[in-house]
């Protein structure tokens, strides 16, 4: 495998791993929110909002890292 091929596949592999992990998190999110909703609806809403914001923050931080490294 030459270097340019690895450079082209690496971002795709990283994005796929991130999407799989986040997808698993969103799969269990309703159960987590229902459990937390029994304690406090505000807590459940905060955790749900944190999950959604974390999804976008992961890609934003990754883009900043790549820009800084010149990728």
The verdict on residue 7 lying in a domain is no
Query: Distance between CA atoms of 8 and 3, rounded to whole angstroms?
Result: 9
Alpha helices in 3-69 (DSSP H): 3-39, 41-69
Range of the domain at 43: 14-69
The verdict on residue 44 lying in a domain is yes
The verdict on residue 46 lying in a domain is yes
- Check residues 34 and 2 and name the one with the higher pLDDT: 34
Does residue 37 contact residue 44 with C-beta atoms inside 8 Å? yes
Does residue 12 contact residue 20 with C-beta atoms inside 8 Å? no
CB count within 10 Å of CB 22 equals 16
The verdict on residue 2 lying in a domain is no
The verdict on residue 64 lying in a domain is yes
pTM: 0.69
Q: Tens digits of per-residue pLDDT, 2-21?
A: 555 556 677 788 888 988 99
């Amino acid at each position: 495998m030459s270097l340019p091929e690895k450079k082209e596949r690496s971002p795709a592999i990283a994005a796929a791993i991130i999407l799989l992990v986040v997808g698993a998190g969103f799969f269990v999110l309703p159960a987590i929110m229902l459990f937390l909703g029994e304690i406090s609806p505000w807590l459940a809403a905060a955790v749900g909002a944190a999950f959604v914001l974390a999804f976008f923050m992961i890609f934003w931080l990754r883009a900043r890292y790549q820009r800084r490294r010149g990728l």
